Structure 1
Amino acid sequence: MSPVTRVLNFNLRVARGFSTSRASRAQNQIYASVRRPDDFHTYQLLSSSARTPLLTLWTTSWCSTCRVVAPLVKSLVDSGVGEQEGGVAFCTVEYDAPDIMSGEGGGLGMTYMITAIPTLLSFDAGEAMTQTKVTDGRKLADRTFLEDWIRNEARRHGGRGGGGGTGVLGGLFGGLRG
C-alpha cells in the first residue's frame, strides 16, 4: 500500500463521539397545586415538552382520604420513584377551586371524566391516560401499588401508551407511529 493510500484510508475513518460523564438520570418534578386551568395547561405543556408523564391527583378541601393520599404520592415522587424509568412530574388539582369547577365546558373535571375524589390520573404527551386512572381509595393508600403505578407511568416517555392494545382499534394503528 502506498503512503498516499494509507493517508486516504486514515482520513475516511469516522470519528465516534464519546462522553466522559455518565448519562444523567431523569429527575422527578413536583409542581404547585393547580387552582386555575391555565396552571394545569402550563404543567401539561412542560411535561409534554420534556417527554415526561404528568401525574395528577384530583382532590377537594373536604376529602379526608385526599389528606392521606396526597402526601403519600408526593413523598414517593419526591423520593425518586420512577426516575430510573424516565421520571415523572406531579401536581395535585384542587377540584373544588372555583376556576377548576366552572369554566368553559363544565370545567377540567368534566373534560377529563373525573367522577370520583380522589382520582389519580396520568397525562402523557398531553393526553389523559384514562385506562390507568385510579379511583379506588384502598389502592391509593397502598404504597406498593403506588410505587408500581408510578414506575409504569414513567415508562411511557411521551409514547402515549396507545396502539397494540386489546381495545376496539387495539392493534389496527399500532404500527403507524412515525
Structure 2
Amino acid sequence: MKGSFTTSTLQSMSRGTRTRFLLSTSTSTTHFSTSKPQLLNQNRLLDPIRIPPTFHNYLRQASASNILLLLLFSTSACASCRVITPLLEDLVHSRPQKPSDKFQELSFAEVELDSPDNSNGNMMDLGVEFGVTSMPTLMGFGGRRAERVTDRVVDTGMMGDRRRMEAWVDEVMQKGDPSPGAGGGGGGLLSKLFG
C-alpha cells in the first residue's frame, strides 16, 4: 500500500451538502501516545421538519443512537425564531464532545409547525401533542425513550443568550437518558442482575 490514495464522496446529513474526503495510506512511522484520544465532534444539523413522518424518524434515530435531539418549534410568523435558529445551529455545530457527556451526539432541527403538509398528517398536531403554547419553544428529546421530552425552554431571552444556552446544553448532555431503567446501563432490576 505504498502511497495509495482513495477518494470517496459521502452524502452529508446536514443540509444535503456533499463533502469530498481524500483518504491516504502510507508506510510512514506510526506514532503512539499515552494521552486520552481526542473526542470527535459528531454533532449534526438536520433538515427542517415539515411533515410528521420526518419528526418521528428523527425521534427513532435519537432513541436508537443515544442522541440528544434539540427541536425548535417555530412558525413562519415567528420573528425571534429567525434570530434564535442560527444561534442554536452555530452552538450545536461548534460544541465539542466532552468526556462528561452521557449522550453520544447532539443534533438540531427546526420543526416548522405551519409548513404545508401533504403527508396525511398535520404539523400543528405535533405542537398540540407536545404542549407547545408559545413560539419559539425548544425541546430536548433523547435516551431510550426519545418520544419523551427531556427538557424544555420557552424563554426567548435565554434562547437568544449563547452563554446561557451553552450552559443549558452542557447540563442536558451531562444528565443523559432520563429513563435509564428502560434499557442497558440503567438502574433497573435486570441491569442489577446482569450488570
Same-fold call, TM > 0.5? yes
- 1:94-173 residue pairs with structure 2 within 5 A? 94-99=112-117, 103=121, 107-125=125-143, 126-129=146-149, 132-157=151-176, 159-160=177-178
Q: Aligned partner of 2:162: which letter?
A: R
The reply to whether residue 72 of structure 1 matches residue 87 of structure 2 is: yes
Question: Which structure has the larger Rg over C-alpha atoms?
Answer: 1
Richer in helix (by share)? 1
Matches of 2:122 and 2:116, distance apart in 1: 12
Matches of 1:109 and 1:134, distance apart in 2: 14
Richer in strand (by share)? 2
* Aligned residues of 2:51 and 2:123 also touching (Cα < 8 A): no
Per-residue deviation, 1:28:
0.8
Bigger RCO (CA 8 Å, 6+ sep)? 1
Unaligned runs of 5+ in 1: 1-19, 164-173
Percent identical residues = 33
TM-score (norm 1): 0.70
Partner residue in 1 for 2:65: 50
Residues 92 and 27 from structure 1, CA distance in 2 versus in 1: closer, same or farther, beyond 3 angstroms?
same
Residues 36 and 106 from structure 1, CA distance in 2 versus in 1: closer, same or farther, beyond 3 angstroms?
closer
Unaligned runs of 5+ in 2: 1-33
Matches of 1:62 and 1:104, distance apart in 2: 18
TM-score (norm 2): 0.65
Residues 156 and 45 from structure 1, CA distance in 2 versus in 1: closer, same or farther, beyond 3 angstroms?
farther
